[in-house]
Amino acid sequence: MSVLRILNMDQKKIKKLAWILVNHSTKVRPGDSVIIQGFIQAKPLLREVYREVLRKGAYPRLKVSFEDFAYDYYELASDRQLKHLSKIDLYEIDHVDVVIAIGGNLNSRYLSGIDSRKFSLRNKSLEPLFNKRVDNTRWVATRFPATGLAQNAGMSIQQYSGFLFRATNKDWNREKRKQMKIKNLFDRARKVRIVGRETDITIDISNRKGILCYGQFNMPDGEVFYSPNERKTEGHILFNYPAIYNGHEVENVKLWFKKGKVVKFTCSSNRKFFQQMIDTDDGARYLGELGIGMNDQIRNFTKDVLLDEKMGGTIHLALGRAYKENGGTNKSAIHWDIVKDLRKKHGGGEIYVDGRLVNKDGEWKF
CATH number for the domain spanning 78: value is: 3.40.1830.10
Query: What is the reported pTM?
Result: 0.85
Residues 44 and 151 occupy one common structural domain: yes
What is the pairing mode between strands 98-103 and 33-39?
Answer: parallel
Whether residue 125 sits in one domain with residue 29: yes
Confidence of residue 8 (pLDDT cuts 50, 70, 90): low
Same domain, 13 and 90: yes
Domain that holds residue 145: 3-168
Give the span between the Cα atoms of 42 and 25, in whole angstroms.
18
Q: Which residues contact 207 (CB under 8 A, 6 or more apart)?
A: 229, 327
Q: How far apart, in whole angstroms, are the C-alpha atoms of residue 307 and residue 199?
A: 23
The pLDDT mean for the chain works out to: 93
Weakest mean pLDDT among 114-118, 209-213, 240-244, 313-317: 114-118
Do 205 and 325 reside in the same domain of the chain?
A: yes
Final residue of a domain: which of 168, 201, 232? 168
Identify whether residues 230 and 344 lie together within a single domain: yes
Enumerate residues 6+ apart whose C-beta is below 8 A from 262.
255, 256, 278, 285, 286, 319
| 290 and 164 inside one domain | no
pLDDT attached to residue 69: 86
158 and 199 share one domain: no
Give the Cα separation of 98 and 92 in Å (integer). Answer: 11
Neighbours of 296 (CB within 10 A): 16
Strand partners, 204: 191
Whether residue 164 is predicted with pLDDT greater than 60 in this model: the reply is yes
The C-alpha atoms of residue 258 and residue 106 are separated, in whole angstroms, by 41
Q: What type of residue is 97?
A: D
Same domain? For 8 and 132 the reply is: yes
In the chain, DSSP assigns E strands to: 33-39, 59-65, 98-103, 138-143, 191-196, 199-204, 211-213, 218-219, 223-226, 234-238, 243-245, 248-250, 254-258, 261-266, 287-293, 314-320, 335-341, 349-353, 356-360, 363-364
**In the chain, how many domains are there?**
2
pLDDT digits (tens, 9 = 90+) for 249-306: 999 999 999 999 999 999 999 999 999 999 999 999 999 999 999 999 999 999 999 9
Mean pLDDT of 31-43: 94
For residue 251, what are the contacts with CB-CB under 8 A and spacing of at least 6?
Answer: 242, 267, 268, 269, 270
The rounded distance, in Å, linking the Cα atoms of 58 and 67 is: 29
Inform me whether the pLDDT recorded for 105 exceeds 90. no
* Boundary-marking domain end, from 168, 194, 213: 168
* 188/260 same-domain check: yes
pLDDT at site 108 = 64
Interhelix angle 11-19/43-55, nearest 10 degrees = 50
Same domain membership, residue 189 and residue 162: no
For residue 352, report the phi and psi dihedrals to the nearest 5 degrees: -115, 135
d(CA 131, CA 108): 25
Q: What is the rounded distance in angstroms from the CA atom of residue 232 to the CA atom of residue 329? A: 13
What was the pLDDT predicted at 141? 95
Same domain, 239 and 197: yes
- For residue 5, pLDDT beyond 80: no
Mark whether 181 and 219 lie in a shared domain.
yes
Give me the pLDDT at residue 156, please. 93
Give the residue from 110, 138, 168 where a domain finishes: 168
What percentage of the chain has pLDDT greater than the value 90?
Answer: 80
